[in-house]
A and B are shown apart, each in its own frame.
Chain A
């Protein structure tokens, strides 16, 4: 039996999973702080907007969103599989397409900043 090409997908899944495990909780805490008006001055809207408008900020945001979307798409695919849904190709195309749409949307929004 030939070796599988699954590493292409799994690589982004593993990288995204590791990244989201560290970054997502931080983003959630910051969002909650922002929502309750307790955000420190250095993380204010103007400062963050300026960061996101620079090429480095765009790159960071894109990598985080792209990897998060791909890892969660793959996690959803695995969850469907674990629950016994055998239409793996259909599920895979759907969830990866959603991740793809999300990634393109991220690119478009970042380009317009």
Chain B
């Protein structure tokens, strides 16, 4: 690569490789990749795949922190490869697939567990009040929008699952993103599906598995703050519990 006005740099990448057809277990492979300083780790991986080793497998799509595909462990921290800038790293950069998930191949992790949990919590609008087309749109005030907007930013990148020690210890835990998305719809003024979602998330493998470590919020690339969503779900579920057991005549 020729000298660029932005400056180039040889980056040492230590990439976890695993081919289920030939390898007994994953192992690291070292590459020296000529990079532009302003690149992100995803650019370096793309250069590596295009020029050095075309067998490297990893997921990516948008390159702009929207699709949530390129989540991986970078120097042991869950990051989007498109958001991890090379200029922030010195020395060897270690790249591994997301923690707490099985490896499909190289940097590709198996997302089936998360997808199944996402489906269970019904992360879609279940209208509270049925309206016909003639009734017009569902209206919402800016204040009502504000109640869930932050939680609607989730891109399902699973970084929070890789960061959560509880998910690592107890894989049946529904986990930060899925519960945050359930909360996002519970908080929506147009929604009426909270009771259905509570059956999944107000359980011991739901929100009560969370011990408020807060790592999910530290790593979230979209500032969703899943930990705050889970705390709000705990408060609401506690109020529910007291109402259900001592004041069952009160409507939630």
Contacts and interface: CB of A to CB of B under 8 A. Distances in A.
Given A1-B199, A14-B234, A84-B169, A8 B241 contact: yes
A91 interface: no
Interface string A1-20: 11111111011001000000
Contact-size category for B: 20 to 34
A82 interface: yes
A107 interface: no
B249 to A, nearest CB: 19
A45 interface: no
5 contacts: A1-B200, A7-B242, A10-B234, A14-B238, A82-B165
Interface of A: 1-8, 10-11, 14, 78-79, 81-82, 84, 86
B111 interface: no
A10 B213 CA distance: 15
Nearest to B239: A7
Contacts of A10: 208, 234, 238
A81 B240 CA distance: 26
B203 A3 contact: yes
Contacts of B208: 4, 6, 10
Contacts of A7: 237-238, 240-242
B204 A4 contact: yes
Given A4-B206, A5-B241, A10-B238, A81 B211 contact: yes
| Interchain residue pairs A-B with the least CB separation, the first 9 | A7-B241, A78-B211, A7-B238, A6-B208, A1-B203, A4-B204, A3-B202, A4-B208, A11-B238
